[in-house]
Amino acid sequence: MTSVTRREILTMTGAMLASGLFVPQPSAQSGGSKKKVIVAGAGIGGLCCAYELMRRGHEVTVLEAAGRTGGHVLTIRDYLADGLYVDAGAEHFTQPGYDLYWRYLKEFDLPVLAYPRRPNVNRFIDGKMYTPEMLADRSILQSLGLNQREIDYLANHQWWEFRLLYFKPYLDSFEDEYRPFDAKLEYLDEVTVTELLRKDGASNAAIRFIGGSSSALQALWRTAILKLRGVPIWPSHVFRIKGGNQKMTDAFAARLGERIRLGCPITAIEHGAMGVTVHYREFGKANKMEADYLVSCISLVQLRKIPLTPGWPEEKGYVIRNTQYYSISRTIFQSRTRFWEKDGISSSLDFGEPSLEGVWRMADEITTSRGLLVGSAAGNADPEESLATFRQYYPGRSEDIEQVRIVSWPLDPWASACERVPFPGQLAKFWPKVMEPHGRIHFAGAYADNLGWGMEAATRSANRVAAVIDKA
């Protein structure tokens, strides 16, 4: 077996980026001998990795615990009228920023729509609604408690650019998006975002809006990655697949065919210098499979529940145990009309409440007089509470919601964890360890990349792992 070092993995990732994230054609020749690979998890990361290994000529089996493919990519239509549908999980992508993902869109000939969920967002602060114009008004900014420097900045910039006032002086130190420590700002891994803002003269109001408890180095690095990719801090122009983002995972799954085994949760993993043995249940029956490599594309929340023999080394075990995720509920409001248009109010509303964080419209291309508002809420959201929050804040008079549904991801036994949140504590304890292989076990998924940004991070990490295994 050819071993791959940490530096080689980072170098290979950088080379993929420099070459435009090249996706090999089906006729591409394998870089090494044919391998047998088990991929754990049929979310977008697992499906993409299996697909790339398959077309390089390797023998691939995907073990998925659930009865469907897609993981957190899920489009639902049940109980919605007139052909309406909702992306209940991964909801949008950007351009630039999702460069590799766009290549798959082209390869699979998937139609794309502009997704008008972010322009003209009305935000609620302490129960009062503020339009984008209001959040550029000097008198209003002063009433929020911002200092003069912050007021001058926001009078000429969008609200979502606020953190750049304090972050921008540090960003040019980051030249390689996969090598944050080359920036020589390690001392900022010892302080929080709030502490950095306070040191640099931010007002208490600014700290309230843009502060945080993660390490300042992490926050600066994430912002620098977006800058290097040419992506705004909060992209206002986003896109989705016409008919639902699940069309992407369905396209991968169709090409993999019988290589995917559903209803097969992994129960134990054994590994050694020559390969891996994966124990799993197949429709309740104990089974096992041997392979040259295992690619774990399940969340670390699930992975930490699976016994490993021999166990994880200390540093890798720490990452697996302590990486954290968020989990949400997707709220769905079906209405008799698109009432917000009659009221002349933006459908993009940011409430900032656990029972309903915000809403936006979806499925505008469906020919119907009905409306559909989609939102997010805390994982334990209740439909009646979400509707009550909407009615409490919505400033119009024409609201005619006729159905409320909640898709609660925390209740999903296999896909409860969504994207990872900032690493708790110091970045140095997690990066790049979170994406490094351990022996014959590799890791892919949205968490296993530098920017835990949904479908792009999943496909990036999947391509990186497929390339490393193919090279070995």
Q: What CATH number is given to the structural domain containing 303? A: 3.50.50.60
Kindly provide the residue ranges of all beta strands, DSSP E only, lying in 292-426, ordered along the sequence.
293-296, 308-309, 328-335, 349-353, 356-361, 371-378, 401-408
CB-based contacts of 168: which residues, under 8 Å, 6+ apart?
none
Do 300 and 169 share a domain, yes or no? no
Backbone phi, psi, residue 444, to 5°: -140, 160
- Residue 416 CB burial class (10 angstroms; 0-12, 13-18, ≥19): middle
Residue 203 falls inside a structural domain: yes
Do 59 and 86 share a domain, yes or no? no
Distance CA 50, CA 35 (A): 12
Residue 21's pLDDT is what? 45
Do 189 and 210 share a domain, yes or no? yes
Split into its structural domains, the chain has a count of 3
Do 436 and 320 share a domain, yes or no? yes
Q: Cα–Cα distances in Å, from 142 out to 148, 167, 368?
A: 8, 21, 44
Do 104 and 185 share a domain, yes or no? no
Whole-angstrom Cα Rg for the chain: 23
Maximum alpha-carbon separation in the chain: 68
Residue 407 falls inside a structural domain: yes
Do 81 and 28 share a domain, yes or no? no
Residue 125 falls inside a structural domain: no
Domain boundary, last residue among 173, 198, 229? 229
Residue 329's pLDDT is what? 96
Do 217 and 182 share a domain, yes or no? yes
The residue type of 25 is Q
CB-based contacts of 344: which residues, under 8 Å, 6+ apart?
396
Residue 28's pLDDT is what? 47
Do 154 and 225 share a domain, yes or no? yes
Q: What range defines the domain where residue 171 resides?
A: 131-229
Do 144 and 281 share a domain, yes or no? no
Residue 421 falls inside a structural domain: no
Nearest to 288 by CA among 25, 12, 35, 38: 38
Residue 452's pLDDT is what? 84
- DSSP, collapsed to helix, strand or coil, labels residue 86 as strand
Residue 312 falls inside a structural domain: yes
Residue 214 falls inside a structural domain: yes
Do 39 and 97 share a domain, yes or no? no
Q: Give per-residue pLDDT as tens, 21-60.
A: 444 443 345 567 999 999 999 999 999 999 999 999 999 9
- The stretches in the chain having pLDDT less than 70 are 1-31
Q: Cα–Cα distances in Å, from 147 out to 135, 239, 377, 450, 469?
A: 14, 36, 32, 34, 53
Q: Give per-residue pLDDT as tens, 229-257.
A: 999 999 989 999 999 999 999 999 999 99
Domain boundary, last residue among 382, 411, 440? 411
Domain boundary, last residue among 411, 445, 461? 411
Residue 422 falls inside a structural domain: no
Do 255 and 265 share a domain, yes or no? yes
Dihedral sign for Cα 408, 411, 414, 417, please.
positive
Residue 5's pLDDT is what? 60
Residue 31's pLDDT is what? 61
Q: What CATH number is given to the structural domain containing 338? A: 3.90.660.10
Do 174 and 257 share a domain, yes or no? no
Residue 35 falls inside a structural domain: yes
